[in-house]
């Protein structure tokens, strides 16, 4: 076959043939012949896929989603056998009959050099199409199922990233930072200073690609605003002394790096292992807390006001004027109402149609406690637009993490501090509809 590097520039007549060739190679890869020479056929298939234009790649993805379904006759027979004889063996046979051939094809595609990266990229490509093309959800579900196995915790390697890390990895931090943008190399160096730590999970097949990373500030007391943590004082001796005095580790940014691995859980393992690493290095650390955004608050409040379901409507006109956070008088006027509303937003019961804030769901689900809600914790434009600048501390207390997690899973009241309860003291607000 013609390597992708030798495909002619004018593909107007070649591309239909390339798509057909890709389908042929996929069928071959799943056959007995493909099983015997899987790595070679998989490599050939990936070379052809690299030469396809986006429309033809989309056509191949639809082909994967629709043409590799379980054998209906075999599945029906296995189901009838299980209904007649509900043994463990019958259940295993039913599960095997229901396993789509597409999953085995994807496993064999993964045998090619770079196969894992290509499949991650494929899932990233189909994600925006899932709503309009629900048939692609079958392919998405199979990829997610396989990734959950291939990227389980046993395969992941935790690495500290510092200024001595390879440039290729450092560049990825700048590119993938999703919470607080890194403004070039000087900014990155500040975030890797002696009073900072950065840890990431890596996978053996993607040695220079972080999967998820967390940035940590070593401070005294509970940090309530992010701008001081992002300051550019670079005196390393001062920062080293700060690290030695620190009693609190603040997780101020957690970024998932691979969109194609969306839904594969890394963050809970990351935080717990980083806590262990930090405790070993700095025995004086007593608290482990986040300083987190509240990305869904403003959107929720706008919807509540539009529906006439709470008192946020009288705050929004002022909160939507430009620059109010720079004016102490205007800020003081907005603070009490928005802080109470945010406390309600983060603690309201989970009911159908009421989605919990995604960042809150992550940390509360991992066993953290809602510790403190901070006024103007972040005055960057994005934070003002999403949450009026409000930020939250979620506290990870080793002795209560498991209990807190169980409370959250059962749907009990959100575990929170006395400070948050004080914000909820307005009984009329407690009775607001979620």
d(CA 28, CA 36): 10
In this prediction, residue 93 carries a pLDDT of 92
At residue 254, φ and ψ (nearest 5 deg) are: -125, 120
| pLDDT tens string 49-65 | 999 999 999 999 999 99
> pLDDT-based confidence at 236, cuts 50/70/90?
confident
- Say whether 81 is catalytic: no
Which residues are CB-contacts of 190 (< 8 A; sequence separation ≥ 6)? 196, 230, 231, 232, 233, 234
Tokens standing for residue 306: 């539009």
- Say whether 292 is catalytic: yes
Q: In residues, how long is the chain?
A: 434
Please report, for residues 111, 174, 204, 299, the alpha-carbon distance to residue 105 in angstroms, rounded to integers and kept in the order given.
10, 35, 22, 42
Q: How far is CA 115 from the centre of its chain?
A: 22
Q: Which of 46, 289, 363, 387 is catalytic?
A: 363
Q: Which residue has the higher pLDDT, 243 or 12?
A: 243
Tokens standing for residue 178: 């999703």
> pLDDT-based confidence at 189, cuts 50/70/90?
very high
In this prediction, residue 434 carries a pLDDT of 44
DSSP string covering 383-431: HHHHHTT-EEEEE--TTTHHHHHHHHHHT-PPPB-HHHHHHTT-HHHHT
In this prediction, residue 305 carries a pLDDT of 82
| pLDDT tens string 324-347 | 999 999 999 999 999 999 999 999
How much of the chain, in percent, has pLDDT values that exceed 70? 91
| Domains of the chain, first to last | 4-150 (1.20.140.90), 154-290 (3.40.630.180), 297-430 (3.40.630.150)
In this prediction, residue 76 carries a pLDDT of 93
pLDDT of 159 strictly over 60: yes
Q: Which of 255, 289, 292, 387 is catalytic?
A: 292
| pLDDT tens string 265-303 | 888 899 999 999 999 999 999 999 999 999 999 999 998
> pLDDT-based confidence at 312, cuts 50/70/90?
confident
Mean pLDDT, range 399-416, rounded to an integer: 93
């Amino acid at each position: 076959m013609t390597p992708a590097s030798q495909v002619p520039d004018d593909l107007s007549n070649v591309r239909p043939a390339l798509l057909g060739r890709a389908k042929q190679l996929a069928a071959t890869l799943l056959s007995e012949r493909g099983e015997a020479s899987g790595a070679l056929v998989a490599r050939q298939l990936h070379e052809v896929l690299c030469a396809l234009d986006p429309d033809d790649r989309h056509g191949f993805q639809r082909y994967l989603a629709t043409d590799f379904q379980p054998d209906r006759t075999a599945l029906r027979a296995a189901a009838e056998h299980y209904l007649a004889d509900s043994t463990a063996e019958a259940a295993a046979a039913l599960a095997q009959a229901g396993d789509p051939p597409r999953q085995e094809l994807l496993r064999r595609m993964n045998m090619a050099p770079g196969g894992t990266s290509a499949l991650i990229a494929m899932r990233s490509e189909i994600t925006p199409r899932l709503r309009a093309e629900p048939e692609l959800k079958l392919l998405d579900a199979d990829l997610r199922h396989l990734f959950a196995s291939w990227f389980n915790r046993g395969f992941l390697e935790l690495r500290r990233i510092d200024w001595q890390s390879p440039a290729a990895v450092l560049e990825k931090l700048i590119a993938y930072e999703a919470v607080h943008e890194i403004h070039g190399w000087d900014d990155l160096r500040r975030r890797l200073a002696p009073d900072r730590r950065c840890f990431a999970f890596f996978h053996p097949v993607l040695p220079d690609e972080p999967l998820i990373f967390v940035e940590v500030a070593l401070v005294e007391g509970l940090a309530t605003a992010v701008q001081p943590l992002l300051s550019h004082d670079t005196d390393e001796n001062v920062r080293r002394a700060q690290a030695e005095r620190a009693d609190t580790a603040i997780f101020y940014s957690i970024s998932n790096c691979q969109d194609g691995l969306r839904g594969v859980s890394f963050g809970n393992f990351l935080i717990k292992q980083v806590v262990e690493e930090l405790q070993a290095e700095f025995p004086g650390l007593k608290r482990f807390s986040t300083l987190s955004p509240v990305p869904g608050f403003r959107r929720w409040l706008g919807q509540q006001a539009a529906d006439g379901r709470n008192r946020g409507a009288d705050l929004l006109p002022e909160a939507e004027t430009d620059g109010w956070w720079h004016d102490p008088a205007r800020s003081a006027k907005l603070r009490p109402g928005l802080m109470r509303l945010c406390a309600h937003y983060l603690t309201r019961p989970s009911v159908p149609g009421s989605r919990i804030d995604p960042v809150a769901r992550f940390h509360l689900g991992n066993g953290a406690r809602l510790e403190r809600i901070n006024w103007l914790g972040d005055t960057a434009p994005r934070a003002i637009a999403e949450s009026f600048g409000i930020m939250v501390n979620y506290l990870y207390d080793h002795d209560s993490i498991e209990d807190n997690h169980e409370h959250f899973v059962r749907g009990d009241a959100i575990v929170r501090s006395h400070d948050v309860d004080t914000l909820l003291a307005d009984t009329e607000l407690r009775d607001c509809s979620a």
